[in-house]
Each structure stands twice: as structure tokens, then as C-alpha cells.
Chains A and B, each alone.
Chain A
Amino acid sequence: MTTNIELPVFTNNSEVELQGKWGMVVDQDLCTGCQACVAACSMENNVPFVGEEDAGYGRAMHWIRIERLWDNTTFPGVKMTSYQPTMCQQCHNAPCEPVCPVYASVHSQSEDLNLQVYNRCVGTRYCGNNCPYQVRAFNWRDYTDARTRPYLTVLQNQLNPDVTVRRRSVMEKCTFCIQRIHGAEDKAKSEGREIRDGEFTSACAQACPANAITFGRLDDPQSAVNKAAAASPSRSRHLLDELQTMPRVTYLTGGV
């Protein structure tokens, strides 16, 4: 649904630009459901393997998931909706932030992202409960401990050195590949310039064979992200818009 109705904004931080810095556009009509983004994200961010039993129980820890929903399940009219890759929406008014008692989930004003501070997390899991998109994952066990999981001694070579490896009882979620953001920002700062659009991208956007995910700066009107969102305004929507969480991810759906 189009967002050309100016809804009043009932938050106290009107002095912060609502556009923010980093955002994504996900084109559901292009998405093929191949799960390349899921694999790339897990490799980039050291998302642990939980094992067969726990995954079957529902504890898979993927930071992005492809949701498959059906409009009609009776034969012969079985119809699926388009695939919905769901990751942390980096809400401006994130419901997961005020409920953490120890400030482990805070908002970055410089990047307008929701930060999960692993070493501060005490494991109350209120943020996981309160996320309306249910995109937060909890380390239910020591999935990264090579002493209890011998196969990890070999797989430790594939870990990304830029990203922390989390231990048990810590909440985690998609960070918009903040290690890549900081890497690009550091490079740009050392060269004395701003980050160019397209200089880097998130793991999921990089891996998508259909170019369904576009990542970039929302405060640059010429960026690929803004162009993708503006190209088809009739298709763009936010997930769970009625909650006024002001997510940074725009979904394009509904046919060309």
C-alpha cells in the first residue's frame, strides 16, 4: 500500500532524521526462494549450526528466513504468496529496545540501526518476545563450543574473523552486516571521503542471484535503494505497518 498519507509521528525524537542511514529494499516478486541469502548470511555472521534435533524442534538460528505462505491450500486452486525474506527490520521505534533491562539492545543514532550487544546480554529473552517480526534468535546451547561438538574443530576455519562468535544464552539477530558497514566506513574515512553507494553490500544482497535484495544508504536520494523503492511506489509496503515501528526494510510485492 502506498505511503502517501502523512501520518503524524508520535515519537519524541523528531530532531533525528527519520530517513536514517542504512536500509534495504526486498523485491518479493523477484525472489525465487532459493535460500542463498540464508546461507550467505550464516557464513558471513558465524551463525551456529544447531544440529538436527534442535532445528527440528524450532531452534534454528538463521538471521534471515524465507517465509512461504499460502493463499489457498485446497486443490486444485493451491496458490502460494510470493516468498518473503524476513530479517531484522532495524525499526526506528524498535519494540525490542526498551524492554531489555540491561541496555543490551540499543539504538545507534549514527547508523540508525538496532544494535545487539552480545557481551551485555543477560538472557531474559524479553526482546525476542517483543519483536513483532520474530527475527531474533537465541543461543539455546553452546553451539559454538568445539569441546562438546567435535565437528566444529574443523569448521572453525570457516568463521569470519570480523564477527564475534557467541556463546550460550545470548540473543542475536541480523545486524545489516555492520562489520561490512564499519569496514567501508573506515576505508572511506582513511581516504577522506564519504562512502560511495554500491561500494559494499550486505551478505544477503551480495548472494541473491535474482538481485531481489538491495542494500544501501537511505539518506542519499540517488542511491540504489531509494531508486528501487521509488521505481514502483504502488508495490512498496512495510511489514506490520500498523505497529508504527518504522522499519528500514521496504518490501515490493503485488506484481509488476
Chain B
Amino acid sequence: MSETITLLAMFKDFEPASEGIEKLQEMGLTDDDMNVISGIPIKNTILGRPPAITYVSRIGFMGALMGVALGIFLIYGIPYLYPLLVGGQAIFPVPQGLIITFEMTMLGLMGFSFIGMFVDSGFPSYTPKEYTPEISDGKVALLFSCPTGEQEKFVDALKNSGAESVAPVEARQL
């Protein structure tokens, strides 16, 4: 395979960015070769990109199930291990079971969604990455890799669709 070079194209807004993406797709780049970096979340259909896959909800659901298990252990496992009679109430209480199971389920759901976000995005990651600070100032960046020899035509095509700048980019410390 020929070498590829990574280029970063900066657009002022998502309109010219979507045109640029379309141009690149016409020129033969697959969706996997491209990545959009932006300062606000932009819906994939606006840019003409495939939907991003996320595992966060699945991890969260797993966490909810673990929370249910924890709740049931706390409210029924503990009196099973160490039964103590209090106040004439049932040793295995139902209303308290609902309350504690609910709380632990929610804690599991949200805690694991949080962790799932970290895991799925690879956070925390302090290795050098392709990035420019202008992205957090609202610009939309298009990060793509193309064969080394052909970078001229890609650059021209993007400049014609409104890119402010197209340049090779190296991974740098954020």
C-alpha cells in the first residue's frame, strides 16, 4: 500500500464542511478515512456522515443490571446472612427492597454510563493527537488521510468548497 498522509482541513462552519466531505467522498475516500472534529456536536446527517456507534448505552444497561443485583443483595442477602428481628417487621422487607433496589439500579446505570463513556472514547488519553486549538473556538475540522502523491488534488478540491486551510498535520501534545 502506498503511504498515506494525514491532512487537516479547517472550515468556518458546518455548511462548507458538509460540501467538503461530499467532495472527498466523490474523490474516492471512504468514510473510515475521514473524521470530523468540532467544537459542538453536529448531527451526522447534517454532515453526510454515517451514524457514529456508541457502546455507552449498552455498558450503562449492564451497569443497571449489576445495580439490581447489588440492591437485592443488600436488602435480602444481608438479613439472610445475619438475621435480626426489629420492630415486628418482616426480616425480608418488600418496600425497603424496592427503594434500595431502585437506588442501586440508578447508581449502576449512571455510574457505568459514565465509565462507559471513558472506556469507549479511550479517556483519559494524554498521548499526542492531531488537533488544533482553533477547533474549540468553533471551527469544524476535517481530518482525513489520502495517498501521499495525490494530496494536491485533495487540497485543491477542499479549498474550492470553502476550506480556510488544508495542511498536513502531525500529532502533538494537547
Contact = CB atoms under 8 A, between A and B. Distances in A.
**Does chain A touch chain B in the assembled complex, meaning CB atoms less than 8 Å apart?**
yes
Interface stretch (A36-44, A103-111, A132-140): A103-111
Contacts of B87: 93-99, 107
Nearest to A107: B85
B90 interface: yes
B90 A107 contact: no
Secondary structure dominating the interface of B = loop
Contacts of A107: 84-88
A209 B73 CA distance: 54
Size class of the contact patch on chain B:
under 10
Contacts of B86: 94, 97-98, 100, 103, 105-107
B89 interface: yes
A13 B86 CA distance: 11
Interface string A105-125: 111010000000000000000
Contacts of A106: 84-86
Size class of the contact patch on chain A:
10 to 19
A164 to B, nearest CB: 20
Interface in B65-107: 84-90
Interface string A165-196: 00000000000000000000000000000000
Nearest to A9: B88
A203 B9 CA distance: 91
Contacts of B90: 12
Contacts of B85: 13, 97, 106-107, 109
A94 B84 contact: no
Interface in B22-60: none
A248 interface: no
A111 to B, nearest CB: 12
B89 A98 contact: yes
B66 to A, nearest CB: 24
A92 interface: yes
Chain A CB count within 10 A is highest, among B84, B87, B89, B90, for B87
A107 B91 CA distance: 12
A222 interface: no
Contacts of A99: 87
A3 interface: no
Contacts of A73: none
A4 interface: no
Contacts of A157: none
B84 A92 contact: no
Contacts of A94: 86-88
Chain A CB count within 10 A is highest, among B86, B89, B90, for B86
10 shortest A-B CB distances, which residue pairs?
A: A93-B88, A98-B87, A97-B87, A97-B86, A107-B85, A11-B88, A12-B90, A98-B86, A106-B84, A98-B89
Interface of B: 84-90
Given A97-B87, A100-B86, A107-B84, 13 more contacts: A12-B88, A13-B85, A92-B88, A93-B87, A94-B87, A94-B88, A95-B87, A97-B85, A98-B87, A103-B86, A106-B85, A107-B85, A246-B88
19 contacts: A11-B88, A12-B89, A12-B90, A13-B85, A13-B88, A93-B87, A94-B87, A96-B87, A97-B85, A97-B88, A98-B86, A103-B84, A103-B86, A105-B86, A106-B85, A106-B86, A107-B85, A107-B88, A109-B85
